[in-house]
Every structure is written in structure tokens, then in C-alpha cells.
Amino acid sequence: MPSNPYDAKGLLISSIECEDPVIFLEPKRLYNGPFDGHHDKPVVPWSKHDMGRVPEGYFKVPLDKAAVFRPGKAVTVLTYGTMVWVSEAAAREAGVDAEIIDLRSIWPLDLETIVDSVKKTGRCVVVHEATRTSGFGAELTALVQEHCFYQLEAPIERVTGWDTPYPHAQEWAYFPGPSRVAEALKRAVEA
């Protein structure tokens, strides 16, 4: 699940050329530009954003390699797709030195990048749009716990979509926004 046009092209080429079945997901919220979760602000179009520049030629982005989207030292954020931009906005607005790992792909998973980052920061926040129950964040939390237990200085935080839909809620009400992510970042850092 790419978070930007460059990764979208490179991951799609890798997916097409992969001999195994691949499910490729594109977050619609990113079509017009990097959406940071603020519904009241206009989206900056990709044509005016550095990550919107995509080479015309052939290139691939490996399916098994995460990207350090934003380096940091206080806490590791594990996320993908639209939530990369929401997490970046949350870290900036909360003033937290968060290292944001864009997983790009949830399977194969780049466990080495995840473990290296969490061991460095000692703290972890998992952010995704899916429901909390049976969401991929539970698997990420388990993997971090298994591989980084002795380095963790605080409980792992998860920020997810809601498990139960609210009949009269707006669509964006299910969306983990910057304020919810910022609260989790602060809890992780202050613990």
C-alpha cells in the first residue's frame, strides 16, 4: 500500500513482475495529494510536492523493504498508506521526534527495519485505518513485543479505525486523525 506516487509506480511494477500473487491497494485519499487527516485544509497536489515527482523510465521498489519516511529518536511509528501522512502531521504538531517507518508492504514485512528502529527509540506506536480487532496492528504489536521486549521502555500504543460503526457519524469519524495519533505519541514518550 503506497503512500506516494513514486512508491505507487515502483511497487506496482514489482507486484506485476512478482511470481507470487499480490494484492495491491491504493488509498483513494492520496490521489489528489498527501492527505494529513485535516479535513478542513486543502490538499497540496502531488504536482507541487517533492514526492510527486516520478521518473518516466522503468524502476522498481522492492516489496520487502520499508522506508524510513521521517528519522527520529523518541518513538517509532509503524504505518503505511494514508496514515504515513497523518502520522507525520501528528508528530510535527505534537513536537515529538518520531521516526516514521512506511511499511509499504505488510507481507513480505521488513522486520529488520522495524526492529532496528524500535531498538533505537525504545518506544513504538502502530497506526493504521483498519479496525483495532483483527487489524494488522495486532500482528505488528506482537512482532515488536517478540523481537524488542528488552528494549521497550513503554507499552506499545495502537491507533486504529473504530471497531463499531456509528450510524450517524461522518465517514471521517472512523479515520484515525492527527489528534488521536498525537495523543498516542505523547503517551508513549511520557511513559
Cα–Cα distance for residue pair 175/159, rounded to 1 Å: 10
At residue 20, the pLDDT reads 96
Mean pLDDT of the chain: 94
| pLDDT tens figures, 96-155 | 999 999 999 999 999 999 999 999 999 999 999 999 999 999 999 999 999 999 999 999
Quick one: which of 120, 111, 186 has its CA closest to 151? 120
pLDDT above 90 covers a percentage of the chain that reads: 87
Q: How far apart are the first and last CA of the chain?
A: 31
Q: Which domains does the chain have, with CATH numbers?
A: 5-190 (3.40.50.920)
Q: With 90 as the cut, is the pLDDT of residue 170 above it?
A: no
Q: With 80 as the cut, is the pLDDT of residue 190 above it?
A: yes
pTM: 0.95
Quick one: which of 43, 58, 80, 67 has its CA closest to 117? 67
- Grid cell at residue 43: 490538499
Mapped onto helix, strand or coil, the DSSP state of residue 185 is helix
At residue 175, the pLDDT reads 83
Spell out the residues 6+ positions from residue 75 whose beta carbon is closer than 8 angstroms to its own.
96, 97, 98, 99, 121, 123, 124, 125, 185, 188, 189
At residue 82, the pLDDT reads 96
| pLDDT tens figures, 152-167 | 999 999 999 988 766 6
Report, in angstroms and rounded to the nearest whole number, the Rg of the chain calculated over CA atoms. Answer: 16
